[in-house]
Amino acid sequence: MKTSYLARYALLLALAMVLSYVESQIPLSLAVPGVKLGVTNLVVIFALYRLGTKEAWMLSLVRVVLVSLTFGNAYSFWYSLAGAVLSLAVMTVLRRLHWLGDLGVSVAGAVCHNLGQIAVAMVVLRSTAVVYYLPVLLASGVAAGVCIGAVAAVLVRRIVW
């Protein structure tokens, strides 16, 4: 493994962790939990488009584990993991298929992140009551995905790597 490769990898991982932390510190006074911008997804999308599928997966999974260990708890770990895995799985497939542009892939990732978290909530609560959050989380996922996708598209094109 080349040193520069290792350094860049570590840089992205650190960036993803910091963004996760910053986002967790922003209180969103909403009645529905899980509504957020998902700035960490910027790093994941960048990795997916510029480094490759394997690298994006490594980055995303290591980030989830490290963030849960440092800022989270056992309870938040499963939510993050489900969201991250479902989101990245769908983005990986959609990118390969070339059906959608950057924006569409980002929106799909954001929406699937929320779907993964709802699925975990259903298991934890052993109740389907959380489906009432679904419409709001779908809409907020679209909004977040559009914002992040627009920025990510610029970053993917412009950043000198």
The contact set with other proteins (CB under 8 A) reads: 29-33, 75, 99-101, 103-104, 107-108, 111, 121, 124-127, 129-136, 138-139, 141-142, 146
Rounded to a whole number of angstroms, the CA Rg of the chain reads: 15
Closer to other proteins by Cβ: residue 12 or 144: 144
Token pair belonging to 9: 């990898």
Q: How far is the CB of 115 from other proteins (least distance, A)?
A: 11
Q: How far is the CB of 114 from other proteins (least distance, A)?
A: 11
3-state secondary structure of 122: helix
Q: How far is the CB of 105 from other proteins (least distance, A)?
A: 8
C-alpha span between 41 and 95 (Å, rounded): 15
DSSP 8-69: HHHHHHHHHHHHHHHHHHS----SSTT----THHHHHHHHHHHT-HHHHHHHHHHHHHHHHH
Closer to other proteins by Cβ: residue 55 or 102: 102
Closer to other proteins by Cβ: residue 1 or 26: 26
Closer to other proteins by Cβ: residue 62 or 136: 136
